[in-house]
Amino acid sequence: MARVVILGAGISGHTAATILRRSLSKEHEVVVVTPKEYWNWIPSNIWVGVGLMKREDVCFSLKKIYDKIGVHFHQAKAVAIYPEGSSELSKPHVVAESTTPGSEGQTIKVEYDFLINATGPKLNFAATEGLGPDKYTYSVCTASHATEASNKLHEIIQEMKQGKKKKIIVGSGHGLCTCQGAAFEYVFNVEYELRRHKVRDLAEITFITNEYELGDFGIGGAHFKRGGYYIHSKVFAESLYAERGIHWVKRAHVQKVEPNKVYFETLNGDESSLEYDFAMLLPPFKGHEISAYDKNGGDITLKLFAPNGFMKVDCDYSNKPFEEWDVNDWPKTYQSPEYKNIFAIGIAFAPPHFISKPMKSKKGTPITPTPPRTGMPSGIMGRTVAMSIAEMIKQGTDRPAYESPFAEMGVACVASAGASLLNGSAASMTMYPVVPNFKKYPRHGRNISYTFGELGLAGHWIKRILHHMFIYKAQCKPGWFLIPE
């Protein structure tokens, strides 16, 4: 009998858990350890954030699903890994602290034969003074955050209906933010809601980003073929911002947030500020604070994890200059180079380097989007690692049976730009590969035949269908496994 323990139950972790349970016989155990009792379809949080959906529309109980399919569930936060065992337990194990109401803080020890780190990011609001829902800005990173943002936004809208002008800021709250796509979607949904409430003329909306150019998204931007011409995502994005009357500040690092004022620095060294009545600014990410120890109790945290807290996998972490990076630096199996029974997927794995060119301001402040690893890639990683582990258990080997090279992975994304079945819109984009490969595709780094961008109403219908389809899949309803990641 083998036991597979999965830390985290987001898109990648939940995908891995369901695939493993379906792939392994009942003699083997699948265990999920995660601090939250619910699963959240994060791509729809932007709709919660403008009041078009409620928390219950994007979340459901994990325990109910895991009880149904036979996955063991611990509502707890992992704090330590003992990959060689310890003086108390000879087998490799995880130490976690319960977050179950009524037993918070109690220690749980879970032995494993295979471990998948799918903890996702820690929302590092503390990196910027005054940032976050506990301070002065709002977020859509969780369903609860998005609900708070919606409540405040509608307070602002009600004041605007009384004739008051308002200033709204949406974007990146730090020079090393990732997930610019969520801010992109949110700013256009906010703008659409203001138009729907007939108060758009009273709002000044500004998008602030750490991207060198709009449409960079942390992947160095992309080229699309439109009407026989090649255009860059910069043109695609700028056109949309200009059409909707949204101002933008790019190449910016938010230094500090005060009530009603954001201070920022740009790459050229200028410092400035923006006043606001409502601000939704995303935080940078870092890994969760999990320590690691050898069998003698020695600290080996930096052996398993990069300094940012994300877990090292089969990447090239040699810190060579950006100009010398190669697509082969990126992972293929997501297996730890130190322990063959440990894997990391989704945002939990440490990228080897930036995809967008790393830059610093004249004062030395890093201002570059960090690589995204969310959505479709997370699901693909979850499936690949689950299938590999299932085969490793069956064959008794330590070599992963399957690969999904990150640098050869394609991605499809539908970014909402206003939610309405009759006159809404969304930017539908595909990209292959995520990491540009200028050796294989010397002109643009990507295969133009599979890299596409289009804005329209059909995109909104697709995003709404995907919302229901992936929640159906995550709830393991009949035929769920036929729906691709």
* Residue range 41-60, pLDDT digits in tens: 999 999 999 999 999 999 99
Instruction: State yes or no: pLDDT of 420 exceeds 90.
Output: no
Element (H or E) spanning 65, and its range? helix 62-69
What are the domain boundaries of the chain?
A: 3-123+287-407
Instruction: State yes or no: pLDDT of 228 exceeds 80.
Output: no
Model pLDDT, residue 411: 87
Query: Looking at the chain, how many residues does it have?
Result: 485
- Mean pLDDT for 347-373 is 95
Instruction: State yes or no: pLDDT of 226 exceeds 80.
Output: no
Q: How confident is the model at residue 231 (pLDDT cuts 50, 70, 90)?
A: confident
Q: Give the span between the Cα atoms of 286 and 326, in whole angstroms.
A: 24
Instruction: State yes or no: pLDDT of 288 exceeds 80.
Output: yes
- Mean pLDDT for 175-192 is 94
What ranges make up the beta strands (E) of 337-432?
Answer: 342-344, 411-416, 426-431
Taking only Cα atoms into account, the Rg of the chain, rounded to an integer number of angstroms, comes to: 22
Task: Please list, in sequence order, all residues whose beta carbon lies within 8 angstroms of the beta carbon of residue 334, skipping any fewer than 6 positions away.
Answer: 313, 314, 343, 344, 345, 349, 381, 384, 385
Instruction: State yes or no: pLDDT of 177 exceeds 90.
Output: yes
Q: Give the span between the Cα atoms of 19 and 135, in whole angstroms.
A: 40
Model pLDDT, residue 258: 98
Both structure tokens of 54: 């409620």
Q: How confident is the model at residue 455 (pLDDT cuts 50, 70, 90)?
A: confident
In tens, the pLDDT along 380-390 reads 999 999 999 99
Model pLDDT, residue 48: 98
Architecture of the domain spanning 3-123+287-407:
3-Layer(bba) Sandwich (3.50)
Residues paired with 344 in a beta bridge: 117
In tens, the pLDDT along 94-113 reads 999 999 999 998 999 999 99
* H-state helical runs in 396-448: none
Task: Please list, in sequence order, all residues whose beta carbon lies within 8 angstroms of the beta carbon of residue 344, skipping any fewer than 6 positions away.
Answer: 116, 117, 118, 310, 311, 312, 313, 334, 336, 350
Instruction: State yes or no: pLDDT of 225 exceeds 80.
Output: no
- Mean pLDDT for 347-366 is 95
Quickly tell me which residue has 């919606």 as its tokens: 150
